[in-house]
């Protein structure tokens, strides 16, 4: 019996998405899974046959039991914690009043979190006959797997993710020591490719060598969900998106944006500007209230549609795409940029666009020079207040005597309908939006361990462009043998000069995306479908723990 430990949710991106897709693929293949996580809405996921909440007083509540459409099933176990949830990057979690970056927590709080999860996992292992565990992240939750191994001899595997390398192991020696121990004790350490293997090994102490434990586990995508569509059928596909959106709670209203923009031009300091942004309050994990109206403004049969999907923080690089926009629009006024995601940099980026549209250089400079302070610097990478890549780009234009022309183009071409902020969308909506877009823009400024959006773009026939380092580099290199060099080069954005490369590469990407759509889709189906990823994980766990497919599930 397989057990999977994940300290967070199933909704969203990154390791949440990885966990959800792996569990679904295992259930589709007739393999039962015991899943320990904090998902508050387990009933949303049809692979979950039953869900149980483990109370602090020792009682267990059965939240539901039901049949599933798959030959295998998942039983979800949710440990009740205190009100503190340790995270890598701050975000909003509905069940926790205190969400704290783990680097800011004292040892006692971290130990209490581990002990609580150990108690629940030991009960799950004993009650359900779990023979092998897989833990996401080398920080905290893998320590739980290690403790269970120490007490019961249950072997475990670990998959480190880029978030912990950047936001826990690098800045905090406590988590580096924890990773040293849990990875050295793991039966397998899964990585997405050679680049991630090097990053994990480099994050460990020099005397910890785990080379024999590494095993490649590629990223995956549900290719059956992300189906490409011809341009003439995009509106039909959007109809399915609108159906998926129909009963969704909604977030920001258009009048809130209007009020915010009416205030920002009079905010003469960065502090005053930040107050303007902080006054805009709404549930940011929901789609915008007027999303359908905004999407209907796009000419889906003729416009060139770029798509950004990611958390709206400086580390994800959305600012570089927006800085490139005046020059992109000057080359092709039909370009439209859709920005999907939530985060504290959203309002500052909308203010930046508003300033570019009006040629308000003072406001542009305030946002660029204090952008990381305006977002609260939640991404944990340190550094100053500037959005450094945009500042460097503007300074280079100025040095070449081209800054006046840049602002003239911005005033001429940047309009509200050129960039659409959607708010937060899940994969239930993204599976319909991705195929309607011509190119995906993923200019992350930190080395992502495994950018799943790249594969979702591939599967949708949406030409992906990404910063050529880390997991994005591995993803691009992983399909390079299927494409001409000039096509592969168009996917690559230089992390040292991202804005310029976006301007240079997007036009070619829009043309080549049409020509090579079938090749991109074929590469996703052949090399990255979640079915093969899940089977690789199951095989490894079978080897280390004699896991039997379709094991019988006990009931609480």
From 281, 263, 284, select the one nearest 351 (Cα to Cα).
263
* Residue 345: predicted pLDDT: 96
The pLDDT confidence band at residue 93, using thresholds 50, 70 and 90, is: confident
* Residue 203: predicted pLDDT: 92
* Residue 548: predicted pLDDT: 38
* Residue 383: predicted pLDDT: 61
- What CA–CA distance (Å, rounded) separates 151 from 170? 30
The pLDDT confidence band at residue 96, using thresholds 50, 70 and 90, is: confident
Q: Where are the beta strands (DSSP E) in 55-108?
A: 60-65, 74-79, 84-87, 98-101
- What CA–CA distance (Å, rounded) separates 411 from 405? 10
Place of tokens 């168009």: 490
Per-residue pLDDT at 54 exceeds 50:
yes
Cβ pair 504, 532 in contact under 8 A: no
How far is C-alpha 42 from the chain's CA centre? 20
Cβ pair 506, 323 in contact under 8 A: no
Indicate the average pLDDT of the chain. Answer: 92
Percent of the chain with pLDDT over 70: 97
DSSP code, position 192: S
| Range 543-547 average pLDDT | 77
Partners of 420 in beta bridges:
338
Helix pair 346-358, 318-331: axis angle to 10 deg: 30
Cβ pair 419, 325 in contact under 8 A: yes
For the record, the structure tokens of 43 come out as 């009933």
Per-residue pLDDT at 553 exceeds 60:
no
Query: 3-class SS at 283?
Result: coil
Cβ pair 282, 249 in contact under 8 A: no
Query: 3-class SS at 63?
Result: strand
Residue 395 contacts by C-beta under 8 Å, 6 or more apart in sequence?
none
- The DSSP-derived string for 530-556 is HHHHHHHHHHHHHHHH---TTPPPP--
Per-residue pLDDT at 198 exceeds 70:
yes
Per-residue pLDDT at 89 exceeds 90:
no
The pLDDT confidence band at residue 268, using thresholds 50, 70 and 90, is: confident
N-term to C-term CA, the chain: 16
Neighbours of 224 (CB within 10 A): 12
| Range 452-466 average pLDDT | 94
Provide the Cα torsion 56, 60, 64, 66; round to 10°. Answer: 140
Cβ pair 218, 18 in contact under 8 A: no
| Range 177-193 average pLDDT | 95
For the record, the structure tokens of 44 come out as 């949303």
From 484, 518, 335, select the one nearest 419 (Cα to Cα).
335
Neighbours of 422 (CB within 10 A): 23
* Residue 163: predicted pLDDT: 82
The pLDDT confidence band at residue 519, using thresholds 50, 70 and 90, is: very high
Per-residue pLDDT at 296 exceeds 60:
yes
Domains along the chain?
A: 2-220+530-545 (3.40.50.2000), 233-254+285-347+387-527 (3.40.50.2000)
Cβ pair 134, 3 in contact under 8 A: yes
The pLDDT confidence band at residue 381, using thresholds 50, 70 and 90, is: very low
* Residue 10: predicted pLDDT: 93
* Residue 31: predicted pLDDT: 96
* Residue 377: predicted pLDDT: 66
Per-residue pLDDT at 549 exceeds 60:
no
| Range 457-477 average pLDDT | 93
Q: 128-172, pLDDT tens digit by residue?
A: 999 999 999 998 999 999 999 999 999 999 999 888 898 899 999
For the record, the structure tokens of 81 come out as 């914690």
If you average pLDDT over each of 78-92, 393-407, 450-464, which comes out highest? 393-407
Partners of 33 in beta bridges:
2, 74
The pLDDT confidence band at residue 265, using thresholds 50, 70 and 90, is: confident
From 280, 460, 273, select the one nearest 372 (Cα to Cα).
273
Cα dihedral sign, 163-169-174-178: positive
Neighbours of 265 (CB within 10 A): 16
> How many H helices and E strands in the chain?
22, 17
Q: What is the largest CA-CA distance in the chain?
A: 72
Q: 202-233, pLDDT tens digit by residue?
A: 999 989 989 889 999 988 888 988 999 999 99
The pLDDT confidence band at residue 250, using thresholds 50, 70 and 90, is: very high
* Residue 547: predicted pLDDT: 42
From 123, 116, 170, select the one nearest 140 (Cα to Cα).
116
Residue 35 contacts by C-beta under 8 Å, 6 or more apart in sequence?
3, 4, 6, 19, 23, 48, 74, 75, 76, 77
- What CA–CA distance (Å, rounded) separates 199 from 462? 29
């Amino acid at each position: 019996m397989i057990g999977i430990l994940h300290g967070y949710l199933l909704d969203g991106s990154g390791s949440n998405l990885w966990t959800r897709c792996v569990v679904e693929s295992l259930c589709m293949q007739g393999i039962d899974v015991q899943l320990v996580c904090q998902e508050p809405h387990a009933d949303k996921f049809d692979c979950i046959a039953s869900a149980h909440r483990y109370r602090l007083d020792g009682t267990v509540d059965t939240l539901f039991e039901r049949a599933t459409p798959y030959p295998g099933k998942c039983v979800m176990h949710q440990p009740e914690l205190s009100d503190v949830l340790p995270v890598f990057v701050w975000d909003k979690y509905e069940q926790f009043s205190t969400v704290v970056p783990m680097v800011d927590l004292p040892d006692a709080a971290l130990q209490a979190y581990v002990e609580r999860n150990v108690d629940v996992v030991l009960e799950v292992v004993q009650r359900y006959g779990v023979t092998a565990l897989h833990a996401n992240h080398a920080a905290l939750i893998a320590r739980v797997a290690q403790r269970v191994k120490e007490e019961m001899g249950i072997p475990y595997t670990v998959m480190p993710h880029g978030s912990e390398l950047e936001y826990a192991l690098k800045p905090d020696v406590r988590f580096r020591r924890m990773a040293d121990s849990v990875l050295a004790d793991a039966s397998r350490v899964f990585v997405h490719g050679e680049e991630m293997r090097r990053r994990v090994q480099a994050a460990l102490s020099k005397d910890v060598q785990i080379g024999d434990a590494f095993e490649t586990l590629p990223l995956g995508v549900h290719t059956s969900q992300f189906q490409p569509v011809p341009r003439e059928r995009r509106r039909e596909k959007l109809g399915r998106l609108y159906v998926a959106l129909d009963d969704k709670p909604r977030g920001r209203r258009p009048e809130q944006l209007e009020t915010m923009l009416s205030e920002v031009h009079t905010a003469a300091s960065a502090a005053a500007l930040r107050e303007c942004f902080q006054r805009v309050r709404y549930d940011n994990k929901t789609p915008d209230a007027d999303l359908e109206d905004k999407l209907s403004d796009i000419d889906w049969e003729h416009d060139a549609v770029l798509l950004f999907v990611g958390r709206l923080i400086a580390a994800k690089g959305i600012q570089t795409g927006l800085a490139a926009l005046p020059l992109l629009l000057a080359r092709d006024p039909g370009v439209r940029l859709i920005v999907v995601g939530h985060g504290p940099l959203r309002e500052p980026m909308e203010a930046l666009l508003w300033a570019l549209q009006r040629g308000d250089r003072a406001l542009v400079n305030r946002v660029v020079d204090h952008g990381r302070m305006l977002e609260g610097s939640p991404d944990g990478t340190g550094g100053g207040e500037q959005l450094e890549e945009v500042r460097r780009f503007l300074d280079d234009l100025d040095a070449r005597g081209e800054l006046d022309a840049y602002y003239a183009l911005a005033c001429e071409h940047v309009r509200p309908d050129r960039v659409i902020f959607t708010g937060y969308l899940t994969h239930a909506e993204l599976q319909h939006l991705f195929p309607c877009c011509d190119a995906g823009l993923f200019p992350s400024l930190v080395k992502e361990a495994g950018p799943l959006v790249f594969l979702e773009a591939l599967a949708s026939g949406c030409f992906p462009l990404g910063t050529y380092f880390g997991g994005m580099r591995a993803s691009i290199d992983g399909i390079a043998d299927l494409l001409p060099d000039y096509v592969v080069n168009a996917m690559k954005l230089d992390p040292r000069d991202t804005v310029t490369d976006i301007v240079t590469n997007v036009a070619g990407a829009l043309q080549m995306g049409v020509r090579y759509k079938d090749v991109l889709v074929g590469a996703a189906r052949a090399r990255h479908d979640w079915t093969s990823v899940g089977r690789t994980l199951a095989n490894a766990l079978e080897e280390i723990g004699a896991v039997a497919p379709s094991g019988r599930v006990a009931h609480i």
